[in-house]
Amino acid sequence: MAETQASIGYGSFFHVSQDNGATWIELAEVYDITPPSDTVDVVDATHMQSPNRTREFISGLSDPGEASFEMNFVPGSASDAKIREIRVSGERVKCRITFPNAVAWTFSGLVTGYEPAVPTDDKMTATVTFKVTGSYISTPAAAPTNSVLPAISGVAQVGQVLTAYPGVWTAAPTFTYQWKKDGVNIAGATESTYTPVVGDVASAITVTVTGTNSAGAASATSAETADVIAA
Residues 187 and 131 in one domain: no
Other beta carbons within 10 angstroms of residue 90's beta carbon come to 8
Q: 88 lies in a domain?
A: yes
**Per-residue tens of pLDDT for the chain, all 231 residues:** 777 878 889 889 999 999 999 999 999 999 999 999 999 999 999 999 999 999 999 999 999 999 999 999 999 999 999 999 999 999 999 999 998 888 899 999 999 999 999 999 999 999 999 999 999 999 888 888 999 999 999 999 999 999 999 998 887 788 999 999 999 999 999 999 999 999 999 999 999 999 988 788 999 999 999 999 998
Q: How far apart are CA 231 and CA 158, in angstroms?
A: 5
Check whether residue 31 and residue 80 sit in a common domain.
yes
Of 231, 186, 227, 230, the C-alpha closest to 208 is 186
Query: Do 61 and 166 lie in a common domain?
Result: no
Segment (H or E) for 130: strand 125-139
Choose the final residue of a domain: 89, 110, 139: 139
CATH number of the domain residue 183 falls in: 2.60.40.2700
- Identify the domain boundary among 83, 104, 139: 139
Structural domain includes residue 1: no
- Based on the fold, state whether residues 120 and 204 are members of the same structural domain: no
Residue 112 and residue 169 in one domain: no
Contact predicate 11/172, CB 8 Å? yes
Residue 49 lies in a domain: no
Residue 231 lies in a domain: no
Where residue 124 sits, what CATH number does that domain have? Answer: 4.10.410.40
The structural domain count of the chain equals 2
> What CA–CA distance (Å, rounded) separates 31 from 9?
9
Domain closes at, from 139, 163, 194: 139
What domain range includes position 101?
Answer: 13-44+55-139
CA distance 186 to 200: 10
Report how far Cα 180 is from the mean position of its chain's Cα atoms: 30
Based on the domain organization, do 80 and 127 belong to the same domain? yes
- Reported pTM: 0.69
